Amino acid sequence: MDQRVRYSKMVIKNVFIEKLREKAIDKITVSEICQQAEINRATFYKYYENPYDLLDKLEWELIDELEQKLISEGTTEFSEVIKVVLTQIRDNHDIYNLLMSDSVDSEFRNRIFAHCYDYNIKTINKIFASLTEEKREWIYYFIAEGCNGILTRWLMSGMTMPIDEVVDFTRNIVMSINIGYNRSLQR
Q: Are 136 and 124 in contact (CB under 8 A)?
A: yes
Q: With bands split at pLDDT 50, 70 and 90, how would you rate the model's confidence at 40?
A: very high
Of 44-48, 76-80, 134-138, the least confident: 76-80
Q: Are 66 and 88 in contact (CB under 8 A)?
A: yes
Which range scores top for mean pLDDT: 57-66, 78-87, 134-143? 57-66
Average pLDDT over residues 73-99: 86
pLDDT at 115: 80
Q: Which residue has the higher pLDDT, 23 or 180?
A: 23
Q: Letter for the amino acid at 164?
A: D
CA dist list (Å): 30 to 27, 39, 120, 129, 152:
10, 11, 39, 51, 30
Q: Are 17 and 98 in contact (CB under 8 A)?
A: yes
pLDDT at 62: 92
Average pLDDT over residues 89-118: 81
User: What pTM was estimated for this model as a whole?
Assistant: 0.81
Average pLDDT over residues 179-183: 78
